[in-house]
Chains A and B, each alone.
Chain A
């Protein structure tokens, strides 16, 4: 039990750290489209790790089943929202910064 608690708090801590990295990225990136990339770290790695840590903490019961459902819905809806934002920005003639190396 103690080991599972330790592992789940490790997952939650790494998830929280990755959310901080994502926020730092939103702050540092130069334009709208690149900021979306940084924000998708928060949506994917942050929520995945935190919800997985919580599932480990609660064990196999109805709560963890609900958490799994939340995870699946987040993984379906956030890319749709990001796509809608990027598409409306492009159609609103916001030009992305392009750089070739």
Chain B
């Protein structure tokens, strides 16, 4: 990673932190604005000293924009599987058949892998338990959930979002 990249990371971190501060504060007197600037700079300096700025992606602060269409699809999936799990809970027989399955992730970057594992956990009925290289161990509440994951719809969507040339 070149010096220019690191500089760009720092600037984008400062801009996104300043945006977050302005959005959350709602006060725009000179005193509070200068205090906000000070806290943004302190956070940026600390995170650069902790080597938290260097990621394996160019400009993380913009990188997540690629995944916004995927986010809407994920919300739809979350609602569907929520309804399924709610039905199982309200059924007096409690028709669950818990199982452990291993799913392969085809993402290249750590960031996309984290998104995949978090999406699995976010969807009720499946929880990612262990991540080993590109194998994710998943605890599933039912056979349908495990098979839906094995079909690999979610995996393909994240991989194609990751390969998206936009940004």
Give me the interface of A with B, judged by CB distance under 8 Å.
Answer: 18, 21-22, 24-25, 28-29, 31, 33-34, 36-38, 40-41, 43-45, 48, 62, 65-66, 69, 75-76, 78-80, 82-83, 86-87, 90, 96-101
Give me the interface of B with A, judged by CB distance under 8 Å.
Answer: 23-24, 26, 75, 78-79, 82, 85-86, 89-90, 94, 96-100, 117-119, 121-130, 139, 141, 143
Min distance, Cβ B41 to any Cβ of chain A, angstroms: 22
Question: Could you tell me if A83 and B121 are in contact, using CB atoms closer than 8 angstroms?
Answer: yes
The 5 tightest CB contacts between A and B, nearest first, are A79-B121, A25-B89, A45-B82, A79-B118, A101-B97
CB-nearest residue of chain A relative to B87?
A21
Majority DSSP secondary structure for residues of A touching B: helix
A58 to B122, CA, bound (A): 27
* New contact pairs (8) apart from A33-B98, A44-B78, CB-CB < 8 Å: A21-B90, A45-B78, A45-B82, A76-B118, A79-B119, A87-B130, A96-B98, A96-B139
